[in-house]
Amino acid sequence: MTTFEHNDNSVVVIVGSGAGGGTLANELSQRGVKVVVLEAGKRESSATFVNDEWASFIQLAWLDKRTTSGSWRVARDFPNLPAWLCKTVGGTTVHWAGASLRIHPHEFKARTTYGEIDGASLLDWPLDYDELAPYYAKAEDKLGVTRTNDIPGLPGNNNFKVFYNGAKKVGYKATTGRMAINSRPRADRASCLQLGFCFQGCKSGAKWSALYTEIPAAESTGNMELRTQVHVAQIEHDAAGKAVGVVYFDAEGKQQRQRARAVCVAGNSIETPRLLLLSASSKFPDGMANSSGQVGRNYQRHTTGSVYAIMDEPVHMYRGTTMAGIISEEIVFDPSRGFAGGYELETLSLGLPFMAAFLNPGEWGRPFAQAMDLYSHMAGMWIVGEDMPQQTNRVTLNSAEKDQWGLPVPNVHYDDHPNDVAMRNHAYERGRAVYEAVGARKVFYTPPYPSTHNLGTCRMSASPRDGVCNKHGQTHDVKNLFISDGSQFTSGAGENPTLTIVTLAIRQAEYISNQMSQQNI
């Protein structure tokens, strides 16, 4: 395996190995750029994943202390778990469900399309759909997205059958969607076995994950070194304000320093702004790349929620792909519904242990037990829609609480915007209509889980006053510092974000290597 010296300042350091960091590492190393990836988690594999929800959660989830505030229900039910993210090589691509939808052209122009909305800090993205389209095509090929590149769709499971038939009766067209899960063997990965444990790491390898695609591909170039179980604590800069490296704690808790030609941060939308804030210095008193004051702000988590229905006959929704079923009619911009932005409805199932934990957190007693008694008759779907960016929804440092390295933990503050509430209620009702159309006996509205889609905390903007980075993820303030994950989203759009994160990473790799060739960084 390739290794680089700590004082080698020719390397690009990437913090995080998920959809953004893992992809960027591979794309850069394929272009001959030397890369050191610093990953906080351990390296697991399809062989070590377990089909056991709680055991897998302990194995994969990011469980370092975090705090919450705000009126969102997560702060009450899961005060130290604002987000369900991964701390493992491959990041959240290990537990994502695989839904791979492009952001629509109008969603890139959120401010223009939706207009001024009270309390929302909407902006248009500094790039448009056409600019990104060729990179979306590359990402779809890389991920092996079904219904693109002549890849057939996945076969629908029982949960999909209920979803499809209900959708049809209320006038929606449901399909098994565009999924980064092999319906046929492709790219040295097997086809889906319908295990039903997509969230627990795919044991068949049918679902795309950076863990067993981008990372080994990057390693095989000889240009990439992956260091695991290392926690980056600070980005350092020189007198001119250029990034010169990072300080991190290694697996033994020993402080190390890696020099760098450029630093790319891809720690997901809580850790990425946290790292910039932790890197405050006399030159950057409010945190690195934070002259706009926008680092950590505009935290978005999608307007989510789930609808579960008890049907007259058994469903066994847990059999097969966790999320291969989609209704896309509501993604349009149609303010007559009472809100801006749109949403998707996607099939979702939880195993018995997580259904108990998430159906209605905190509830107990006979009605809850009676609902659980009919677990085998349940069908389920998830709402994923665009939430409004707000200046006050933000990640900050909580100096009152320290993590295992003595660093202030991140606090995640979130209040629903009235637009979010209106959208969620609309989606709940549409979900109910779908299930009642096929005879649902009872329908439950399940509140949002700890966030799996975390976005916007270092947003890209045309003007350095409005955001943290430009349309390439390059920070406005520090030209060799890049944001390489979903933190750079200007607005959340209504689609599962992984495909767009990968797309931006492919494009960013091209930009970084060009900038390096031109000696601009």
**Which is nearer to another protein, 208 or 482 (by Cβ)?**
208
> Judged by CB under 8 A, does residue 198 bind another protein?
no
Minimum distance of another protein from residue 449's CB (angstroms) = 15
Minimum distance of another protein from residue 174's CB (angstroms) = 6
**Which is nearer to another protein, 161 or 442 (by Cβ)?**
161
Minimum distance of another protein from residue 198's CB (angstroms) = 11
Minimum distance of another protein from residue 74's CB (angstroms) = 16
Site string for another protein, 295-314 (x = CB under 8 A): -----------------xxx
Minimum distance of another protein from residue 352's CB (angstroms) = 4
Minimum distance of another protein from residue 113's CB (angstroms) = 30
Q: What are the angstrom distances between the C-alpha of 100 and each of 133, 181, 205, 324, 383?
A: 14, 10, 17, 11, 15
| C-beta of residue 437 within 8 angstroms of C-beta of residue 166 | yes
Minimum distance of another protein from residue 501's CB (angstroms) = 27
Largest CA distance in the chain: 69
Residues 132-161 that bind another protein (CB under 8 A): 152-158, 160-161
Residues 458-517 that bind another protein (CB under 8 A): none
> Judged by CB under 8 A, does residue 316 bind another protein?
yes
**Which is nearer to another protein, 254 or 366 (by Cβ)?**
366
Given 21, 126, 296, 351, the residue binding another protein (CB under 8 A): 351
DSSP 99: B
Q: What are the angstrom distances between the C-alpha of 184 and each of 22, 151, 180, 462?
A: 24, 8, 11, 42
Backbone Cα Rg of the chain: 22
Q: Alpha-carbon distance 521 to 505, whole Å?
A: 18
Q: Which stretch binds another protein (CB under 8 A): 13-21, 124-132, 243-251, 348-356?
A: 348-356
Residues 40-79 that bind another protein (CB under 8 A): 50-55, 57-58
**Which is nearer to another protein, 446 or 470 (by Cβ)?**
446
> Judged by CB under 8 A, does residue 183 bind another protein?
yes
Given 364, 400, 518, 519, the residue binding another protein (CB under 8 A): 364
Alpha carbon distance, N-terminus to C-terminus of the chain: 27
Minimum distance of another protein from residue 189's CB (angstroms) = 13
Minimum distance of another protein from residue 173's CB (angstroms) = 8
**Which is nearer to another protein, 99 or 289 (by Cβ)?**
99
**Which is nearer to another protein, 156 or 486 (by Cβ)?**
156
Three-state SS sequence of 306-331: EEEEECCCCCCCCCCCCCCCEECHHH
Q: Which stretch binds another protein (CB under 8 A): 36-44, 281-289, 318-326, 338-346?
A: 318-326
Instruction: Supply 118's token pair.
Output: 């009270």
Q: Which stretch binds another protein (CB under 8 A): 118-126, 295-303, 351-359, 496-504?
A: 351-359
| C-beta of residue 241 within 8 angstroms of C-beta of residue 290 | no
User: Of 411, 445, 438, nearest to 66 (Cα)?
Assistant: 411
Residues 253-292 that bind another protein (CB under 8 A): none
Cα dihedral across residues 92, 94, 97, 103: positive or negative: positive
Cα dihedral across residues 384, 269, 297, 264: positive or negative: negative
Minimum distance of another protein from residue 258's CB (angstroms) = 33
- Helices 418-436 and 158-169 pack at an angle, to 10 degrees, of 100
| C-beta of residue 484 within 8 angstroms of C-beta of residue 469 | no
Residues 223-252 that bind another protein (CB under 8 A): none
Minimum distance of another protein from residue 372's CB (angstroms) = 7
* DSSP H/E element including 506: helix 498-517
> Judged by CB under 8 A, does residue 187 bind another protein?
no
Site string for another protein, 106-135 (x = CB under 8 A): ------------------------------
**Which is nearer to another protein, 126 or 351 (by Cβ)?**
351
**Which is nearer to another protein, 4 or 62 (by Cβ)?**
62
> Judged by CB under 8 A, does residue 372 bind another protein?
yes
| C-beta of residue 443 within 8 angstroms of C-beta of residue 435 | yes
Q: Which stretch binds another protein (CB under 8 A): 28-36, 112-120, 194-202, 383-391?
A: 194-202
Q: Alpha-carbon distance 204 to 199, whole Å?
A: 13
* DSSP H/E element including 343: strand 343-347
Identity of residue 48: T
Q: Alpha-carbon distance 284 to 22, whole Å?
A: 28
Q: How many CB atoms lie within 10 A of CB 399?
A: 10
Q: Alpha-carbon distance 58 to 274, whole Å?
A: 23
Q: Alpha-carbon distance 472 to 515, whole Å?
A: 11
Residue the block writes with tokens 């007259």? 312
| C-beta of residue 443 within 8 angstroms of C-beta of residue 437 | no
SS3 content of the chain, % helix, strand, coil (to 5): 30, 20, 50
What residues line the site for another protein (CB under 8 A)? 50-55, 57-58, 152-158, 160-162, 164-165, 173-176, 183-185, 191-197, 203-204, 312-316, 318-320, 351-353, 355-357, 362, 364-366, 368-369, 372-373, 375-376, 438
